[in-house]
Amino acid sequence: MTILRGRVLSFVSEPHGLDDAASYRYIEDGAVAIEDGKIIAVGEFVSGGDAEVIDHRPHLIMPGFIDTHLHYVQSQMIASYAGSLLEWLNTYTFVEEQKFGQQGHATVVASAFYDELIRNGTTTAVAYCSSAPQSVDAYFAEAEKRNMLMIGGKVMMDRNAPEALCDTAQSSYDDSKALIARWHGRGRGLYAISPRFAITSTPAQLAAAQALVAEHPQAYVQTHLSENDAEITLSMQLYPEAPDYTGIYETYGLLGPRTLLGHCIHLNHRETGVLAETGAVAVFCPTSNLFLGSGLFDHDRLRQHGVRVGVATDIGGGTSFSMLRTLDEGYKVLQLRGQRLTPFNSFYMMTLGNARALSLESTIGTIAPGCAADLVVLDSSATPAMALRMQTATQLVEELFLLQTLGDDRSIAEVYVAGARMKSTLGGL
């Protein structure tokens, strides 16, 4: 048994304001007991006993961060200059993703991608691979090597992309079915059926995705929805029978509680109602939405109408692997919306909130007996500027907001995956 000692913070429910102390559990001198990769006890630290004690004081121990939408195959094209979503896709993304058909390329990128997740405190993520099945094999093989709970899938796309990237409705079904059999439930891996978005899928391919969902109800579904005005216009031209963009996915039975919909910026009232009714998750991608000028996510409107919400980096349209940097930009997006995002809500969203979005709250996202020992240790004095500010911080909420506003990978003192130390074992640190 190993005991991690430090200040322990974990959420038990979604916070409703700065004074909602019942939404979290905070222990000033806490102990997290770990055995066989799981948390077996949490409480006040008591000296004595034979367990190995790793003292992380004065740092903050939290559940590992969760990222609900990103593209690992875009890791080498972050910060590619473009004016809008469709220009960016055609100029950079589709060019980059073709490389994943090359022998060995996916393995190299997957390794670097996982290193970046760990450096930034992310222990679980939901990723799009490329249309090449070997990109999925590399993704899950690397996750298995590191014993990480990861979700991902092969992009299905049979039109409006370079020929080298396109599959067919039948081949995308066959490949996805084989990959589900190979990886879903193997180790900690979980599969996401992944039609890229309506523009790059014919009706026949969305029907193939529908068949996969019916055959594999425990798999996830991930796609993009309502990110950009030009995207919406083109989608409606391609699917003129649909009542709206959401209606395209609704028609093919792709909406449900295990569906993750990236962006969801420009939804009408009917679409919002459909998401709430089906339990589909709207995923907020603030750095990506700002970078591509896509629009401002309306968090409060969606939540008031009962829509489940996640938050994500959306690498490589997103500009940072860090969930801290992501929520910093998320705070600013909502400021422009006239909405308040408290520091407690930010850290809830990147831990228990995202775990709930994935229906995995009994496994990850919280520090409780029986949960996986996927943890992050946060140093709120990691830089001189942060240390200077911490001299005047007297409350937990101030520390969290400082971490969110100025923190980055340097604030991640250590990361544990299933109880194993991960960040300190990376090369180049």
Q: pLDDT digits over 359-404, tens only?
A: 999 999 999 999 999 999 999 999 999 999 999 999 999 999 999 9
Specify the residue for token string 């009542």: 243
Residue 102 has pLDDT above 90, yes or no: no
- Interval 248-258 mean pLDDT: 98
Residue 357 three-state SS: helix
**Residue that wins the pLDDT comparison between 93 and 315:** 315
- Burial letters 56-72, b for 16+ CB under 10 A, else e: beebbbbbbbbbbbbbb
267 closest CA partner among 258, 256, 276 = 276
Residue 83 has pLDDT above 80, yes or no: no
Residue 234 three-state SS: helix
Residue 290 has pLDDT above 90, yes or no: yes
Element (H, E) at 220: strand 220-225
- Interval 96-120 mean pLDDT: 94
Tokens of 69: 């939408």
What is residue 155's predicted lDDT score, i.e. its pLDDT? 98
Residue 64 has pLDDT above 60, yes or no: yes
Residue 341 has pLDDT above 60, yes or no: yes
Residue 138 has pLDDT above 70, yes or no: yes
358 closest CA partner among 274, 275, 259 = 259
pTM: 0.97
What is residue 191's predicted lDDT score, i.e. its pLDDT? 98
The span from the CA of 255 to the CA of 250, in Å, is 6
- Burial letters 228-251, b for 16+ CB under 10 A, else e: beebbeebbebbeebebbbbbbbb
What is residue 281's predicted lDDT score, i.e. its pLDDT? 98
The span from the CA of 22 to the CA of 390, in Å, is 25
Confidence of residue 90 (pLDDT cuts 50, 70, 90): confident
Residue 236 has pLDDT above 70, yes or no: yes
182 phi and psi angles, rounded to 5 deg? -80, -35
Segment 169-212, tens digit of pLDDT: 999 999 999 999 999 999 999 999 999 999 999 999 999 999 99
Q: Helix crossing, 133-146 with 105-119: angle to 10°?
A: 40
151 closest CA partner among 191, 116, 183 = 191
The span from the CA of 23 to the CA of 10, in Å, is 9
Strand 220-225 and strand 190-195: pairing?
parallel
Confidence of residue 289 (pLDDT cuts 50, 70, 90): very high
Average pLDDT of every residue of the chain: 96
Q: 88, 98 in Cβ contact below 8 A?
A: no
Residue 219 has pLDDT above 60, yes or no: yes
Confidence of residue 428 (pLDDT cuts 50, 70, 90): low
The span from the CA of 266 to the CA of 361, in Å, is 29
What is residue 88's predicted lDDT score, i.e. its pLDDT? 84
The span from the CA of 419 to the CA of 38, in Å, is 7
Element (H, E) at 61: strand 52-63
